[in-house]
Every structure is written in C-alpha cells, then in structure tokens.
Structure 1
Amino acid sequence: MSSTRERALDAAVRLVGEQGVRALTHARVDAEAGLPKGSTSNWFRTRDALVAGVVVSIAEQERADLTAAMASARTIDDVVDVLTRLLEDATGRYATRTRARYALFFETTATPGAQPSMRAQRSLFEDWTRERLTDLGAADPDTAARALLATGAGIIVNRLTVAPDTPIRPIVELTVRGCLV
C-alpha cells in the first residue's frame, strides 16, 4: 500500500494534469487522495512546498522509467527505439503526468520556492542525457544533450496540443544521429 505522502503526490499529479495548477490545493489533494483533511499539509506545509514536492515526484518517476527503459539500449538504434517509446508513453499512457509537468514548468516561474527543485531536476536530466550521448560518441555532449532534450520537449508539446499524431521515430532518429556528428 502506498504511503500517505505518495497518495497525496499521486493525487496532486492527477489534479494538475487533468484540471491545471489552480486545482492544486492542500484540501483538493486530500479529497482526491481520499485522505483526512490536513494530511497533505503535514507533508507539504506551503503551496510552494507542495509544488516542489510534485515536481520532484514527477521527475523521479520519469527518471525511473528512463533508466529502466535504457538499461538494455546498447546501439544507436536501441536508443532511438527506447526514446521513441518513452515519448509515445509521455504523450499517451502518461499524458496526465506529462501535462502536470508542463503546467508546473510555468507555475514555477511564479513560485520562487519551487524554482530550485525544477532547476535541480532539469540538471539531473541533462547530466543523464549527456552521459548517454558521451557513451554513444557525441563530439559535443553538452550541446547534444540540450538539443535532444529540447527536441523531446517540442515533440511532447506538439503531440499534447495541436498535432497528436506527429510521428516520433523519424524526428528522434534525426536528432540522435545529429547529436553524434
């Protein structure tokens, strides 16, 4: 069984992903999670702390998905296949989580207390991506990592908003191979 904290965070992700950041209140999280009133505020005393907690929770889930999926990727084609599947998942079965992440990106610009969490999580993703691209032989892994992450973000935004059928693999393959030049 999930802990009270995990239930609150899962409920918060659902609320933000389905209803937007305005739905993110301690009381609504408690209700969505089926927790007694005040439970969420026991873990996250302020709204900034709640936003930061949700940001970290989403990032940890996404990193776990990424790490597990990439464990067997050995070749460039393997990496392209894995990234394609992850982007399909991000805009399909995990679309609510992804929408929550993007909503929180913008929320943190107005929530100074949550900005350090967002920056720290982004840095972890950049480091991880840089290491994978270094392993594949990227000549400039710093620029390559930023380019690959930006491309993935663009695919996600397009698929979740105006172009849900955007093909993923050709874009990922072009980007990954371009990162290795």
Structure 2
Amino acid sequence: MPSRQEDLLDAAIGVLGNQGVRALTHRAVDAAAGVPLGSAANYFKTRDALISAVVERFAERDRAGWQAIAGFVRPSDPGELAGALSAYVIRALGPDRAMTIARYGLFIEAALRPALQEHLATSAAELRRWATQWLRAIGSTDPERECTAVMDYLDGLILHQLAFPGPPDDLAAAIDRTVRSLVTTGRTAP
C-alpha cells in the first residue's frame, strides 16, 4: 500500500501528465490527491523539492512497469520483438497516456535542471539493459547499438504521436518495419 507521500507524488504525476508542468503546484497536487490544502507542502517545502521527488517516484514507477514487462516478454525473433514494442507504444499512448506525457515533461525539466538527470538516466539505463537482452535473445549482431536505435526511435514515435496522433493501425506496421530494418541478426528472415 502506498504511503501518504507516495500518494501525493502519484497525484503530482497525474497533474503533470494531464495538465502539464506549469500546472504542477502544491495546491494542484493537494486537490488531485483529495487531501487538505498544505499537505503536499508539508512533505515538499518548495516546488523544486516537489519536482525532484516526482522525478524519483516517476523513475520508481517506470522501473516497476518495465520489470513487469521484462518478466513476461521473451521475444525469439524481430517480429515478436516488434509486437511487444507495439503493445508498449499503444499502451503508452492509450491507458498510460498521462504517465507518458509526464515522462516527456520530466525530460524537459531535466534538460533545464541537470540535477534531475541522475534518476531518469539510471531508470533509462535499466530499461535499455532489458531491451539489449531482448535483442541479444533474438540474435542481434550488435545489441547495444541496435538498442539505442530502437529505443530512440520509439521515444521519437511516441512523442510525435502525442503531438500529432495518427491512425493506431499504422503504428504496429511502422514499428515492425523499423525494428526489422534496425536489427540485424545472424538468422534468416521468417
């Protein structure tokens, strides 16, 4: 069961993902969490402290989500990997849209405030380790380099789809084509 502080941070992630970084205030977090005014300020004395704590909580939640995915995704070829990544992208743009928007808002904050980068970078490195393992499992000849290409492509695709949504049916085909073009394996194509 989440602590009161975690509930406040989860509410803050919701504010960030649904209203943007400018709306992230102590008052907005209190309202979103359904707690008395001043509750968030009791835990996070300044807005900077709130944002720093949000980054940490976001990284925890992001890692937990990817750990769940890594626990059941076991691709054996580029097509299966593309299918798993397509499911992730569709979820990121649908049910997890607020979390996804929060991610990009935090990326912008980290670009402006380098002190925030450590938690996000640690989380991203862990995600890339899992993706590198998937690429290695499907026979990639250069899993580290190809992981960077695939993950950067997905980040760009998701950001583009958030800003300029296209038909979701096209996403899976585009991801499949891109994964197959970016990933070289020692296996023959199916």
TM-score grouping bracket, smaller chain normalisation: 0.7 to 0.9
Shift of 1:45: 4.1
- 2:111 alignment partner, SS class: coil
Distance 1:180 1:65 in 2: 28
- Give runs of ≥4 in structure 1 deviating > 6 Å: none
What stretches of structure 1 of length at least 5 have no aligned partner?
none
- Opposite residue 24 of structure 1, the aligned amino acid is L
Counterparts in 2 of 1:154-173, with a 5 A limit? Answer: 154-166=156-168, 167-173=170-176
Contact 1:55 1:104 (8 Å CA) reproduced: yes
Contact 1:48 1:111 (8 Å CA) reproduced: no
Shift of 1:95: 0.6
Distance 2:137 2:69 in 1: 16
Q: State the identity %.
A: 34
Distance 1:45 1:180 in 2: 51
Distance 2:63 2:174 in 1: 22
Aligned length: 181
Deviations 1:20-76 (A, max 9, x none): 101112232122212234433444444333223323333333333333234142422
Matched, 1:81 2:83: yes
Match of residue 64 from structure 1: 64
Match of residue 180 from structure 1: 184
Distance 1:2 1:95 in 2: 22
Counterparts in 2 of 1:100-111, with a 5 A limit? Answer: 100-111=102-113
Structure 1 residues 112 and 26: CA distance shift in structure 2, 3 A: farther
CA RMSD of aligned residues (A): 2.2
